[in-house]
Amino acid sequence: MGNVAAAYPGKQVHVIWDNLNTHRAHAVWQAFNARHGGRFHFHFTPLHAGWVNQIELWFAVYTGRVLRHASHESTAHLRERTERFIRERNQTARPFSWTFRGYPLQTGAS
């Protein structure tokens, strides 16, 4: 986060975090934000949000096809490759197969 703060001085920065326990350490990120003028805005994905896995799957495909082992000449080059990937993916888009059936409902009754 320090690198992000240094890369975007004076800018408002929005950070989207999952609910990993280290991300939920309010004292840590609040102190960090205070040191950086309150310009960081932290957003957390909902707990137990199945739809989040769908976007993680999409990013896994994107990472494998666009980012991994790639060399981008510039931000513009990365943007062009990303936009091309999205256009091509949208032409052949299909839903991800969701196989998780959930856990039994915990009611607290014995």
Task: Calculate what percentage of the chain has a pLDDT beyond 90.
Answer: 45
Crossing angle for the helix pair 75-91 and 50-62, nearest 10 degrees? 120
Radius of gyration of the chain (CA): 19
Position 63 pLDDT exceeds 70: yes
What is the spatial distance between Cα 91 and Cα 54, in angstroms, rounded to a whole number? 18
pTM over 0.95: no
Q: What is the pLDDT of residues 16-41, one digit of tens each?
A: 877 666 656 777 888 999 999 999 99
Domain definitions of the chain by residue range: 2-44, 50-91
pLDDT score, position 52: 62
